[in-house]
């Protein structure tokens, strides 16, 4: 949610930002909010004036009562009673206008960074840099589900019976490899100075609407029937929500945390759910990182965070690239975002394995995350980034480490988590 001062003072700039995001249907909202805000401030001014007058008359009543001027005091009391009713009416109008404005403001997208490329959707994202050599071996790389099946490591037939499409069983060495990657990612981030956390896997609706737009919520979140609880789509949701309505001590900034969680997603949209594989599923595990920092430090942390993901994937012998998200591909709360994509030697193209985002103060405004200074309280900046998502990282690892004999080499950094095992061999 942006600062309403931007609509008061830079209305045309806000509209131009909406146009850059190809959301012209929201342009009229800016004028609506502007007019409502004028009415809100006018109502508030009237209410403040009435309260000041009421206080003045109340003091006058006290003086009259002291001087035994009972009739005059009673007459003014009637005026004060009438004024109280007017103040109550103005208070209700102020609250109503405030709620309407807040609801409409939640739909206005965050102001994007000046260097964000302008484009309608993810097809217009811009490649910035590649890390590692994207190789295609002389032998054929099977589809990832077939590789996992060759180790008896994947069972989607059983999961379709127990849970339906979009779920899976991982077993044996493949299940162990998935856990090894997550454990390594955890320790990798701890070594970077991040505090490890296991958060709640369900959050209330006021946290959901604080961390994401209504459109994202409808497309992603599973609601617990009969309760005000949602399953998290990523632990960023509950990690940022941890600081809801908090005034954070400046000395404790920046807050840098890394978290493990299962993630649950409806995956509503054009992509749909993958039938055979595990690229797009309803449930997976993830190691995440979040930062809450001073506004002037968020650009620096953004650069650090995506580079951590690159470093981690390169340590797994996986080539990656950084792809900058264009304006039309940015979710409403994002100021700037980039995807990290891993190389698929089978498809001979890159695919998304993580996303890093700077949301400036958009989430903090929704959730009330502030710090205190000598000049008063101010909103902090929040950032999030995928360290490693289990299913997609597993696909990238087995494809890039697949050998001609059907085995998969285990990267050296994972071998301690696999009992010293150097490779997974095909089951005969």
Residues 288 and 262: beta-carbon distance below 8 Å: no
CA distances 236 to 71, 127, 186, 197, Å, are: 65, 25, 15, 11
pLDDT value of position 271: 56
SS3 29: helix
d(CA 197, CA 195): 7
Q: Which of 343, 353, 279 is nearest to 317 (CA)?
A: 343
Mean pLDDT per 10-residue interval, the chain, length 428 residues: 94 97 96 96 90 79 75 76 84 93 94 96 96 95 95 94 94 97 98 97 93 82 94 94 95 96 80 75 96 98 98 97 97 96 97 97 96 90 97 97 96 97 87
Encode 21-51: b = buried (16+ Cβ within 10 Å), e = exposed. bebeebeebbeebbebbeebeebbeebeebe
Check whether domain 122-424 has CATH 3.40.50.12280, yes or no: no
Cα angle vertex 183, ends 266, 237, to 5°? Answer: 35
Residue from 409, 415, 404, 398 nearest 154 by CA: 398
CA distance 426 to 127: 36
Contact 369, 248 (CB under 8 A): yes
CA distance 104 to 99: 9
What residue ranges do the domains of the chain occupy? 4-105, 122-424
Domain 4-105: assigned CATH number: 1.10.287
Return the structure tokens found at 377: 């309280």
Which strand (E) or helix (H) includes residue 258?
Answer: strand 255-264
Which residues share a beta bridge with 377? 372
**In a 10 Å sphere around its CB, with 0-12 CB exposed, 13-18 middle and 19+ buried, how is residue 239 labelled?**
buried
DSSP result, 357-396: EE-TTHHHHHHT-EEEETTEEEEPEEEEEEEEEHHHHHHH
Cis status of the peptide bond prior to 419, with omega within 30 of 0:
no
Structure-token pair, residue 267: 């995956």
pLDDT at 268: 59
Start-to-end CA distance of the chain, whole Å, equals 57
Tokens of 201: 């896997």
Q: Strand, helix or coil at 402?
A: strand
Element (H, E) at 20: helix 11-20
Q: Which of 353, 233, 360, 234 is nearest to 288 (CA)?
A: 234
> What phi, psi does 239 have (nearest 5°)?
-70, -45
- 4-105 and 122-424: identical CATH topology: no
Rounded Cα distance between 41 and 205, Å, is: 29
pTM beyond cutoff 0.85: yes
Q: How many CA atoms lie within 13 A of 344 on its CB side?
A: 18
- Alpha carbon 57 to its chain centroid, in Å, reads 51
CA gap 427, 383 in Å, rounded: 43
């Amino acid at each position: 949610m942006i600062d309403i001062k931007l609509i008061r003072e830079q209305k045309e700039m806000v509209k131009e930002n909406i146009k850059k995001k190809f959301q012209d249907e929201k342009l009229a909202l800016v004028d609506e909010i502007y007019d409502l805000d004028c009415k809100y401030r006018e109502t508030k001014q009237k209410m403040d004036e009435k309260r000041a007058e009421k206080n003045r008359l109340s003091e006058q009543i006290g003086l009259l009562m002291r001087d035994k001027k009972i009739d005059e005091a009673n007459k003014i009391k009637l005026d004060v009673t009438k004024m109280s009713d007017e103040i109550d009416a103005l208070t209700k109008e102020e609250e109503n206008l405030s709620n309407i404005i807040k609801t409409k403001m939640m739909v206005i997208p965050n102001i994007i960074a000046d260097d964000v490329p302008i484009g309608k959707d993810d097809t217009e994202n811009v490649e910035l840099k590649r890390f590692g050599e994207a190789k295609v071996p002389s032998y054929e790389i099977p589809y990832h589900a077939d590789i996992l099946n060759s180790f008896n490591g994947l069972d989607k037939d059983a999961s379709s019976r127990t849970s339906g499409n979009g779920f899976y069983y991982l077993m044996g060495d493949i299940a162990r490899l998935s856990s090894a990657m997550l454990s390594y990612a955890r320790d990798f981030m701890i070594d970077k100075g991040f505090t490890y956390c296991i958060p709640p896997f369900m959050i209330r609706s006021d946290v959901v609407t604080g961390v994401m737009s209504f459109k994202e919520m409808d497309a992603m979140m599973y609601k617990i029937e009969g309760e005000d609880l949602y399953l998290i789509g990523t632990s960023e949701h509950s990690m940022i929500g941890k600081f809801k309505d908090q005034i954070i001590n400046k000395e404790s900034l920046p807050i840098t945390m890394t978290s493990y969680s299962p993630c649950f997603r409806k995956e509503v949209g054009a992509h749909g759910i993958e039938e055979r594989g595990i690229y797009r599923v309803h449930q997976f595990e993830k190691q995440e990182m979040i930062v809450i920092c001073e506004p002037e430090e968020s650009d620096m942390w953004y650069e650090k965070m995506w580079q951590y993901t690159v470093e981690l994937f390169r340590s797994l012998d996986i080539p990656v690239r950084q792809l900058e998200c264009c304006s039309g591909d940015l979710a409403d709360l994002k100021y700037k975002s980039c995807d990290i994509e891993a190389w698929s030697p089978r498809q001979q193209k890159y695919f998304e394995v993580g996303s890093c985002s700077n949301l400036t103060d958009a989430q903090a405004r929704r959730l009330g995350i502030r710090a205190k200074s000598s000049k008063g309280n101010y909103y902090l900046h929040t950032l999030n980034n995928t360290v490693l998502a289990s299913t997609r990282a597993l696909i990238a690892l087995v494809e890039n480490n697949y050998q001609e004999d059907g085995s998969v080499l285990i990267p050296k950094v994972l071998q301690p988590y696999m009992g010293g095992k150097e490779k997974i061999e095909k089951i005969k």
